[in-house]
Amino acid sequence: MSPSGSGSTLALLGGTPTGPVAPEPHPRFTPDVIDRVSDLLRRGCTVGLNKHVAEIREAEESIAAWQGVSHCLGTSSGHAALHCCLMGLEISSGDEVITTPYTWGASTSCILHNNAIPVFADVCPETGLLDPATIEERVTPRTRAILAVHIFGQPANMSAIRAIANRHGLVVIEDGSQAHGALHQNQKVGTFGDASGFSCMGGKLLASSEAGYMVTPRADVYWKASLCTQHMGRSSEPGFPEDLLRYVDSLVYTYRLSPINAVLLTAQLRKIDAENQGRRRNVAHFRQAMAGVESARFPSYAEGDDPVYHMLTMNFCPEVAGVSRDTYLAALHAEGVGIFAYVPSPIPTWPRLNWQTYTGPRVMWTESLRQSGVDYRTMECPNAHTKVARSLEMSWNYIEEDPERIQRLAAAFWKVEENLGALREWERRGA
């Protein structure tokens, strides 16, 4: 049953817009954390070299406890956190890393930046998550790791991916940058891998200004990542391995976490579980209100898998709508819905990876790809193309549970659904 009043003329065709349904501002910081940051600025305490700085230690220990792992390394960004994973696991120099073609570029560029070679498996067309069934055929003698991405806050099938890695003696990296608190088989993502990277920039679920963190159950990974990315390798921290002391120098990536962002992260961590639950409840209200809309459909998830919602992903059904996705998006935009397609194309099609035909500015990875002989033009990922063509995303900062507000959002989709005939005619006329 459609929401009341949704059947009027589409705004795209001259009608009155349903109107935007504004989410809460995000991130939001409490007065006490703003006071703590102000105090740091007043005292000029803006540099955090290691855990000897109280704010860094507090943030890293709090995150490690919340994630349920032994070690956390705060970083300057989510990309830095992923790069730390590769350095801590000593993946470099032509090593192959099997990963997803459907993601934000940082999940691939961290591999390239450490002189390793991305190899793309395919994804599940409904979710865009790495499909374990397509991984083993990509394994070669040069394969060292599998890097899975929990895109849109959906948990990848880490139990299956971990089993494949164990069979072939590979390490596992998780990109949880959009998935703080997501569960696979009732276990938090970020706890299945040998190392996991998370982004904490201002748009993420655990939001600061610009930051990230790596978590790992392995002390050796923590220290090797620190050696390569932190001031003097954090060699003054208790427990620094004696066998690494001779390698401590300033030849590092400067990926350290600011005390200001450390304070923000510690405070945000205290409320992320409640905020995630609010987002989940609003998604449940939205799915209920959307029951009967056939032109856009939701992914389904296995029992024990519980996403979080940095973004909400759906799939456009052109065979139902009878119009192009661009036309469908235009109709929703006119009604005031902020909706988009997040991934523009599968990553192996991007020009800067295809060294055989690339003619643009010189990039650091071209020679490594050439020497490896990799040819991304031959890596077939049809399901990634399907997800790219059908995907619909909305930023989901609907944190405070509000069924009436979510009903108004669904009303815009119902309005488009009930006017598909008029929309088809509009598109047929070339408008």
Kindly indicate the confidence band of residue 333, based on its pLDDT and cuts at 50, 70 and 90: very high
Kindly indicate the confidence band of residue 430, based on its pLDDT and cuts at 50, 70 and 90: confident
Three-state DSSP string of the chain: CCCCCCCCCCHHHCCCCCCCCCCCCCCCCCHHHHHHHHHHHHHCCCCCCCCCCHHHHHHHHHHHHHHCCCEEEEECCHHHHHHHHHHHCCCCCCCEEEECCCCCCHHHHHHHHCCCEEEECCECCCCCCECHHHCHHHCCCCEEEEEEECHHHCCCCHHHHHHHHHHHCCEEEEECCCCCCCEECCEECCCCCCEEEEECCCCCCCCCCCCEEEEECCHHHHHHHHHHHCHHHHCCCCCCCHHHHHHCCCCCCCCCCCHHHHHHHHHHHHHHHHHHHHHHHHHHHHHHHCCCCCCEECCCCCCCCECCCCEEEEEECHHHHCCCHHHHHHHHHHHCCCCECCCCCCHHHCHHHCCCCCCCCCCCCHHHHHHHCCCHHHCCCHHHHHHHHHEEEEECCCCCCCHHHHHHHHHHHHHHHHCHHHHHHHHHCCC
**Averaged pLDDT for residues 417-425:** 98
Evaluate if residue 410 carries a pLDDT over 70.
Answer: yes
183 and 302, same domain (yes or no):
no
Q: Does any domain span residue 2? A: no
Domain count, the chain: 2
CATH of the domain at 276: 3.90.1150.10
258 and 401, same domain (yes or no):
no
Give the residues across from 378 on adjacent strands. none
Structure tokens at 189: 């993502």
User: What confidence tens digit (pLDDT) does each residue in 93-127 have?
Assistant: 999 999 999 999 999 999 999 999 999 999 999 99
Residue 316 exposure: Cα atoms within 13 Å on the Cβ side = 24
Structure tokens at 296: 């856009």
Q: Does any domain span residue 303? A: yes
Evaluate if residue 1 carries a pLDDT over 50.
Answer: no
CATH of the domain at 61: 3.40.640.10
Q: Does any domain span residue 6? A: no
Structural domain for 316, as ranges: 11-28+270-343+387-428
* Residues 148, 123 contacting (CB under 8 angstroms): no
User: What confidence tens digit (pLDDT) does each residue in 225-265 have?
Assistant: 999 999 999 999 999 999 999 999 999 999 999 999 999 99
From 234, 253, 269, give the residue that closes a domain.
Answer: 269
Residue 280: C-alpha distances to residues 24, 75, 223, 286, 401 (Å): 15, 28, 36, 10, 9
80 and 197, same domain (yes or no):
yes
112 and 210, same domain (yes or no):
yes
Q: Does any domain span residue 354? A: no
253 and 151, same domain (yes or no):
yes
110 and 150, same domain (yes or no):
yes
Q: Does any domain span residue 357? A: no
**Averaged pLDDT for residues 128-154:** 98
174 and 46, same domain (yes or no):
yes
**pLDDT, averaged across the chain:** 97
**Averaged pLDDT for residues 348-363:** 97
From 253, 269, 285, give the residue that closes a domain.
Answer: 269
Q: Does any domain span residue 138? A: yes
Evaluate if residue 203 carries a pLDDT over 80.
Answer: yes
265 and 276, same domain (yes or no):
no
69 and 181, same domain (yes or no):
yes
Q: Does any domain span residue 368? A: no
**Averaged pLDDT for residues 186-201:** 98
Kindly indicate the confidence band of residue 7, based on its pLDDT and cuts at 50, 70 and 90: low
**Averaged pLDDT for residues 346-366:** 97
From 244, 269, 294, give the residue that closes a domain.
Answer: 269
The pLDDT assigned to 5 comes to 45
The pLDDT assigned to 80 comes to 98
250 and 294, same domain (yes or no):
no
Q: What is the pTM of this model?
A: 0.97
Evaluate if residue 41 carries a pLDDT over 90.
Answer: yes
421 and 328, same domain (yes or no):
yes
312 and 260, same domain (yes or no):
no
Evaluate if residue 387 carries a pLDDT over 50.
Answer: yes
Q: Does any domain span residue 311? A: yes
